[in-house]
Amino acid sequence: MNNITQSMKRKPEAFLPKYRLLVLIGCLLLLLLTMAASLALGSRPVEWNEVLQGLTFEHVESYGANVVQDRIPRTIFSLFCGAALGVSGSLMQAVTRNPLADPSILGVNMGAALFVVGGIAFFSISTASQYIWLALAGALLTSIFVFGIGSMGSGGATPLKLILAGAAISAALSSLVIAIMIPRSYVMDQFRFWQVGSVGKADWSTVQTFLPFLIIGVLVALISASALNAMALGDELATGLGVRTGVLRLVAAIAAVLLCGAATALAGPIGFIGLLATHVTRLVLGPNLRYVIPGSAFAGAVILTVSDICGRILGRPGEVEAGLITAFIGAPILIILAMKTKVRSL
């Protein structure tokens, strides 16, 4: 057991890249470039001098500077939302040991959407705080339901059964959402833009509402990272190393639901961010969750913000919602990953 413990202590360092300083510098530069592009590019391009004027937060008469000031909360919220979805995806993959786990694939987003639609239709909710609590309840109940169905039968909750359960429940919940909306045109008008997934309506109030959920979820994820590394070797070995696997799964799952539920409530069900961000991070940094979790936060922030920029440019003079861009990119990647996973499982 001492030898196993010593190997576990050395194992995370084995995945630490020797070029970690260059990776960190490159990530920071990419993040700054993404933020600058989000402020400058869109349906109305802005000159760089107007970007600098807008960043002063002073009253200016320049139209471009005012556009930049309106884009600042949108950019910040896009970064925060992408980071939350990236961390949520990495936690879901770690908890389920499923490389295809993602809030949208496991039906969690649709569960949040159902509760939001129900709140709009039956309780006339309209504020961001109301959206968040209903979305969290829907996401949590859907997660429990998917995991319960995926755990039935021999072999427990295998990756394939979880994916099938998530797909089936997501389809059923989608039908319920449509059934609620069809006879209520006012619900459809309020819900249709939210359903696609977009950060376009974000303001400072949205950022303030979302920030506490992001901080709590990310902190729990970072604290759980080392124990999740041990659990990746198997429940029996992790238990021998002192990890309470049941409690760990519950805490990590709650953190994942907290992050994706809050993001879904305020931005809509944006899919594939968690899947893309986690796999890109593993490709660069290896499987150590102490690096995968913060790396997924960074990758998710960049992916969603770049998707938002592309949607603004492609949809001029209007815009294409970021959720459509991420789906267009993520769907073929999901197919490739599913094919590789199937081959390995045989």
For the chain, the structural domain boundaries read: 74-345
pLDDT at position 346, please? 32
pLDDT at 261: 85
**Cα angle, residue 273 at apex, residues 271 and 277 outer, rounded to 5°:** 160
Span 193-222, pLDDT tens digits: 666 667 877 888 889 889 999 999 999 999
| Nearest Cα to Cα of residue 173 among 217, 141, 206 | 141
- Structure confidence at residue 63 (pLDDT): 72
Q: Is CATH 1.10.3470.10 the classification given to domain 74-345?
A: yes
Instruction: For residue 245, give the DSSP letter.
Output: H
Q: Helix, strand or coil for residue 316? A: coil
Question: Among the residues of 56-197, which ranges form H helices?
Answer: 63-96, 108-123, 128-150, 159-181, 185-196
Classify 167 as helix, strand or coil.
helix
Please give the biggest Cα pair distance in the chain: 70
For residue 42, what pLDDT is reported? 77
SS3 string, 179-244, reads HHHCCCHHHHHHHHHHHHCCCCCCCHHHHHHHHHHHHHHHHHHHHHHHHHHHHCCCHHHHHHCCCC
Radius of gyration of the chain (CA): 21
DSSP state of 121: H
Global confidence as pTM: 0.81
pLDDT under 50: residue ranges of the chain: 1-16, 343-346
> What is the C-alpha separation between 234 and 253, in angstroms, rounded?
17
Nearest to 77 by CA among 270, 314, 257, 221: 270
